[in-house]
Structures are given as C-alpha cells and as structure tokens.
Amino acid sequence: MPVYKCDGQQPFKFDQEEIVKGLRDVRQVWRTQQNRLKEVGGRHLPSPTVIDTAIKQLSGALFPMRLGPDDLLQENEDFYVGYTIGLALSALLNQIKLEIRHHHRHEKIDECQLEQTAERIVREFAKSLPRIRSLLDSDVMAAYAGDPAARSVDEVLLCYPGIQAMIYHRIAHELYKLGITLIARIIAEISHSATGIDIHPGAQIDSGCFIDHGTGVVIGETAIIGKNVRIYQMVTLGAKRFTEDENGMLHKGQPRHPIVEDGVVIYAGATILGRITIGKNAIIGGNTWVTDDVPAGEFVRIESSHSREGNF
C-alpha cells in the first residue's frame, strides 16, 4: 500500500498484506489461549474517553463554583448541577450497560433485565454523590490543615494532585462497590495517568485523607485506611506475597494489603506490605520497609548514626 508524500516524490511502500497477516496470526494465538475465537456481537467494552468526560462533568457538579464553567453564577448553581449530573449519568448508564453486556457476553441476555439492572446501579450511584462531596470536603480540609504551604482551600482543590486523585477515587470506589469494576478501574487509571497516584478502586479510604505531593503513591485493592491519615510521595501500601490455586493461578480478591488506622502519618518512600495493621496515630518514617504490625502511637524509622532524639 503506497503512502504519498506531500512533496510529490515517489510514495513510500510497505508490505501491507504481510503485516496484516502477521497481526492476524498473533491475534489468533491470543484468542485461542483466552478461549475467544469468536467475539459475540462486536466490541462491547466501555470507552475510556466517554468515561473521562463523564467524570469531569461529575467533578464540576460536585464543586460547581470551583471546577465548573468559568462563567457560572451562584444563582444558577442548582440548574447547572442538575443538568450536568443528567449528562454524566446518562453517559455512565450507557457505559455500565456495555460492561454488564461484556461480562455476560457468553450468555443469553434479557435486554429488559439489563436495562433495569443498569438503571438501578446508576440510581444507587447518584444517591451517593452528596456523601462523596462531604468526604471530599474533609479531604480538602485535611490538606489545608496539614500543609503550611497551602494558602486557601481553593488552592488545595484547584492545585493539589492528591485531591484530584481522591475525587476520582471516591467516584470509582462507589461504582466498584456496586459491581461495576471495569469502569471503576478505568477511572482509577485515568487518575493515575493524570496525577501519578495509583489507587485501586477497591481500596477503602475514610474521611480526611491527605496525599501530599503524591507522585509514586500506590494503594492496593484491599487496603483499608482510617480517618485523618496523611501519606507522602512514593509510599506503597502493597501485598507481600500472593497465594496460588492448584493450577498455579493467583487467588483474586483475598485481603493482602495493610490496614492503616486513624491519624497515621506515612512519610516519603515508606513501603508497607501485607495484611498488617498500622496502629492509631503511628508514624512511619521515610524509606522504611514495614512487614509487621505497628502498635498505636509507635514511631518507626531507620536507625542512623546521624539521627538524634527529640521531637519529630
């Protein structure tokens, strides 16, 4: 197939048939391995582009005078919120139907039941929006109170990647709880790409979470984080080991990530692995490696000849 150059010279040629055949052969191997030789009904998968637009709309509806349109007036807030939520939920409804259809792609689907299930999920999700806003308010206040460089709550909301990550996570987590795990994961990865903060949508995070700086933070699927926890950059709340079934496949969904209780502070570069508990108000120092329970109020740090006693 020739590809013509704009300067009128001879077209560049490549062996289209060979490349297409090579890609077809690789696809065939993959589909055989995955038992997907025939895709029933085409590509029934949610669209990251559509989902991203819907989440941006929901962000604007949650914080209309800060994340909404530039020309919005306060007297028009409710109209804007209602209209924008309607747009976002309609888009999500269609995406949720795609996810459900894909999940049941090898079964006969009752379209009426599919529609009813998707609508029920969207209604339940919509009811959670005021609670999500309240949780996000607590996150913003925690960041403002915990960072001496923060000049206002508006600065925190508009500028802090940790807050953007929490907006996306709290939306994704609600969908995850409702069984819409693929869309929830797409939302999480959109946030990850934008902020450098990787929070699995299954992670349970209570109010007042402050992720400062944020770059490189990883929070695993079964992590549980209490109230008023502060986490700095490059922190990992991960799994220590993975169990396998008799076929060598990893078990899915087992609790394997840390439980972090209220008031804990985790400084930059700390790695906390396994289903352990970090007790209330404990402090985890920078660059530490923690694989055992930490008692409440404990200060974990790397001992150094340069360290001195005193208030931290």
How confident is the model at residue 246, as a pLDDT?
80
As a whole number, mean pLDDT of residues 123-151 equals 98
Confidence class for position 262, pLDDT limits 50, 70, 90: very high
Pairing of strands 12-13, 2-3: antiparallel
CATH architecture of 216-303: 3 Solenoid (2.160)
Neighbours of 167 (CB within 10 A): 26
How confident is the model at residue 109, as a pLDDT?
83
Residue entry with tokens 């009752």: 110
Give the C-alpha separation, 138 to 206, whole Å.
10
Average pLDDT of the chain is 92
How confident is the model at residue 242, as a pLDDT?
81
**Token pair belonging to 258:** 């840390």
As a whole number, mean pLDDT of residues 203-226 equals 98
Tell me the H-state helices in the chain: 16-33, 48-62, 64-67, 77-103, 111-127, 129-146, 153-159, 161-177, 181-195
Q: Is the pTM of this model over 0.85?
A: yes
Residues above pLDDT 90, as percent of the chain:
79
Q: Where are the domains of the chain?
A: 44-197, 216-303
As a whole number, mean pLDDT of residues 51-74 equals 97
As a whole number, mean pLDDT of residues 154-171 equals 98
pLDDT of 310 over the 60 cut: no
Which CATH superfamily, name and number, covers 44-197? serine acetyltransferase, domain 1 (1.10.3130.10)
Could you read off the pLDDT of 106-120 as tens digits, one per residue?
788 889 999 999 999
How confident is the model at residue 307, as a pLDDT?
41
How confident is the model at residue 244, as a pLDDT?
80
Of the listed ranges 86-90, 129-133, 242-246, 287-291, the least confidently predicted one is 242-246
Could you read off the pLDDT of 20-35 as tens digits, one per residue?
999 999 999 988 888 7
